Chain A
Amino acid sequence: MRHLLSTRDLLRDDAIGLLDIAEDMSEVQNREVKKLPTLRGKTVVNLFFEDSTRTRTSFEVAAKRLSADVINFSAKGSSVSKGESLKDTAQTLAAMGADGVVIRHSASGAPQVLAQSGWIDAGVVNAGDGTHEHPTQALLDAFTMRRRIHGDAARGRDLDGVSVMIVGDVLHSRVARSNLWLLETLGAHVTFVAPATLVPVGASTWPADIRYDLDAALAEVRPDVVMLLRIQQERMNAAFFPTTREYARQWGLDDERLLALRPDSIVMHPGPMNRGLEISSRAADSAQSTVIEQVANGVSIRMAVLYSLLSGDREARS
């Protein structure tokens, strides 16, 4: 793999390969010495045009556990916020000898533009671009599901037949898109549940069922996994739905809906959560919730991705 830009083009074997490497990385996390010398002498740049302390920290920990040098280059307070172009930033990072660039950007496609630009030769990891994709989030979600479902026998397995319900702002969610493509590749079945204003135009052509009524969907599908998407503050004022109260009542995973789930269903959320809006506190803190595991698994997945992109001979992969 040269870059990780989306899950849509990820082949099944490559995806499972990454999940398996993440299993190895996760075992390292349980050792006394949590660090591997693998990427010694490599430089990873976290290029964040959008604030995200969680994702940036997760990549930073992952890179450091592999002994890479990490440079955090965030837009706020840097030349980037003063109008420096992506091109100039990329060329600057190239001149500093970056081997990998982890990029978070509000513009969809910015990581792909960077990867195919020729401005920089580094491996590019998409850490979330606009409303396009967030591939490492989808990988860590798939990893989390695979572990909960297959336990110690997870290695080499896919998610064949697993039913995943993704609830909320699908329209603006890069997490939903990346999850959809990856889950389809791994054999899972996806149902989106959202108010019609938050379902993307043309989503009927996607490999997912689309439902509006959460209670009916939960009762009929009885999903293995319920994943709640975060409602962004700015959507609340943009007339996609009348009020947050109405949203929580119709599409929030409240206590009642939690109790109605199968006892072995798992509850996921990419974080940060709006407790009381898309998910109740009881649901977030229940034994069925994987919210904390997702964070821990994020480090393992990102180690696996950085390892796959940066450890080998770059020439041999192009």
Chain B
Amino acid sequence: MTTTLITGATLPDGTTTDLLIADGVIAERGAGLSGPAGARVLDAAGLVALPGLVDLHTHLREPGFEQSETVLSGTRAAAAGGFTAVFAMANTMPVSDTAGVVEQVQALGDAAGYATVRPIGAVTVGLGGERLSEIGAMANSRAGVRVFSDDGKCVHDSLLMRRALEYVKTFDGVVAQHAQDPRLTENAQMNEGALSSELGLKGWPAVAEESIIARDVLLAKHVGARLHICHLSTAGSVDVVRWAKARGIEVTAEVTPHHLLLTEELIRSYDARYKVNPPLRRDEDVRALREGLVDGTIDIVATDHAPHPEESKDCEWDHASFGMVGLESALSVVQAAMVDTGLFDWADVARVLSQTPAQIGRLEGHTHSFEIGASANLVLVDPASSSTFSVDRLAGKSHNSPYLGMTLPGSVRHTFHRGYPTVLDGSVLSASEVAAAATAAGVARG
């Protein structure tokens, strides 16, 4: 395996150091390091080194929707965005509700090598919301599933949700709830308010999210289970989670980059790239979400990377699919929304985009420190750069990004997964190169 010497990188705590990566781990750390002959040397002066980012909410679309994304293309997008681990949502076809499917997804991820892929198992069979899926089989499979979610659909039946929360405790798992009351959001198109009324788009009331979160935190308290809330999008949701945490309820919550930056005003264009579930909300919601992320009410940022083919967005708003790609832009968006606004330092970014999502997802062997001997999953970011976000930043199959044409700060210069590079000098390495490195790393580890 190649050895890499990174010189002059700034760590999240603000200190500057050289890092020597060898045999998949951080081998040495300190000033004035020198690598062995033939080592790759990367000058990281001015770059921030972050632990490899971990996305608890990614749609890789494979199996079933390979025209939108595959495990290979989705993890390539992840690497481009500085991610070294992604949790793959269960709404594939077939649904990831059996050990067979989750093992297949994991195997595809291992073979691709761009990032560690951890499948998420469906809570209910076929996401049907009626019967629990074989949660135990998935937990005990080679994929070792710990996160269960019907994402895209809400587990709305109260009794079923109670059972799911209780049952996953057996396996140290967590239910990640997509909080959306289905009756209150029938055919809903955008945040309900003055703007939806003006644009004539069916409203998606905040209460449809908040009421489910309120019910679920009470259920979690009642049965003493862990609960994770996907993509909070309203100020009211932040209030409910804050209330629950103050009472010691074991709830964690995530917010997407887009809900930290974009508002419903963009929908005036009826451009379906802004159509997403949950919908973009008001300015005051964006502010509350940022505050919640700062005070720890919201634990993590997760992308909800949702690729769609062009025809799903190049049409009437009502007919368009929900979702945005987000892996490639996440770090820049978080920098814009949180760092450049003075709300966050880079240690906070490392916490919400790497350490905490790894803890919630029980991601093993993916250390998030720069201690000697730690697995070398890391990303080097140039925070001083600023550029127009364009399709060449997109490394997945789909181009449904709301940021195209926007100026965003920061860029990923290098990404290392388990000690080998997946991105160098801003370019994603080829699939064959990465797959070979992954195989070598696997052999080296024995």
Contact = CB atoms under 8 A, between A and B. Distances in A.
Is there a contact between chains A and B in the complex with CB atoms less than 8 Å apart?
Answer: yes
Interface of A: 8, 85-87, 105-110, 112-113, 116-117, 129-133, 171, 174, 177, 200-203, 205-206
Contacts of B386: none
Interface string B266-306: 00011000000000000000000000000000000000000
A202 B196 contact: yes
Contacts of B269: 112, 116
A113 B194 contact: no
Given A85-B311, A112-B270, A116-B269, A203 B197 contact: yes
Nearest to B310: A87
B195 A202 contact: yes
B197 A202 contact: yes
5 contacts: A85-B314, A87-B315, A131-B202, A201-B193, A205-B194
A87 B270 CA distance: 15
Interface in B188-242: 192-203, 205
B316 A177 contact: no
Nearest to B270: A109
Q: Is the interface of B mostly helix, strand, loop or mixed?
A: loop
A109 B316 CA distance: 7
Contacts of B193: 201-202
B196 A113 contact: no
Interface of B: 192-203, 205, 269-270, 311, 314-319
Contact of B197 (A87, A105, A109, A201): A201
Contacts of B200: 108-109, 129-133, 174, 177
A200 B318 CA distance: 19
A109 B194 contact: no
B140 to A, nearest CB: 44
Contacts of B314: 85, 87, 117
A132 B318 CA distance: 12
B198 A177 contact: yes
A108 B199 contact: yes
A106 to B, nearest CB: 8
A96 B83 CA distance: 49
A83 to B, nearest CB: 11
Given A108-B318, A109-B199, A109-B316, 17 more contacts: A86-B316, A87-B311, A108-B199, A108-B317, A109-B201, A109-B270, A109-B317, A110-B316, A113-B317, A130-B318, A132-B199, A132-B201, A171-B197, A200-B196, A201-B196, A202-B193, A202-B194
A105 B316 contact: yes
A132 B192 CA distance: 14
Closest 9 CB pairs of A and B: A202-B194, A132-B200, A109-B270, A200-B197, A108-B200, A131-B200, A107-B316, A107-B318, A205-B194
Contacts of B197: 171, 200-203, 206
A106 B200 CA distance: 10
Nearest to A201: B192
Contacts of B202: 131
B189 to A, nearest CB: 8
B270 A113 contact: yes
Contacts of A206: 194, 197-198
Contacts of B315: 85-87, 113
Nearest to A133: B200
B433 to A, nearest CB: 38
Nearest to A116: B269
A106 B199 CA distance: 13
Nearest to A200: B197
A201 B317 contact: no
B399 to A, nearest CB: 16
A105 B198 CA distance: 17
Contacts of B196: 200-202
Contacts of B319: 107
A171 B198 CA distance: 10
A110 B197 CA distance: 16
Contacts of A201: 192-194, 196-197, 203, 205
Nearest to B272: A113
A152 to B, nearest CB: 36
Contacts of A113: 270, 315-317
Nearest to A131: B200
A86 to B, nearest CB: 6
A107 B272 CA distance: 12
A200 B205 CA distance: 12
A133 B202 CA distance: 14
* Residue among B193, B195, B199, B316 with max Cβ neighbours from chain A (10 Å): B316
A4 to B, nearest CB: 16
A169 to B, nearest CB: 13
A117 B203 CA distance: 25
B200 to A, nearest CB: 3
A162 B314 CA distance: 42
Contacts of B203: 201
Contacts of B311: 85, 87
Contacts of A174: 200
B192 A107 contact: no
Contacts of B316: 86, 105, 107, 109-110, 113
A172 to B, nearest CB: 9
Nearest to A108: B200
A64 B202 CA distance: 36
Most chain B beta-carbon neighbours within 10 Å: one of A86, A129, A201: A201
Contacts of A106: 318
A110 B202 CA distance: 14
Nearest to B316: A107
A189 to B, nearest CB: 19
A225 B200 CA distance: 25
B74 to A, nearest CB: 26
Contacts of A116: 269
Nearest to A181: B198
A197 to B, nearest CB: 13
B363 to A, nearest CB: 41
A88 B289 CA distance: 40
A84 to B, nearest CB: 11
Contacts of A132: 199-201
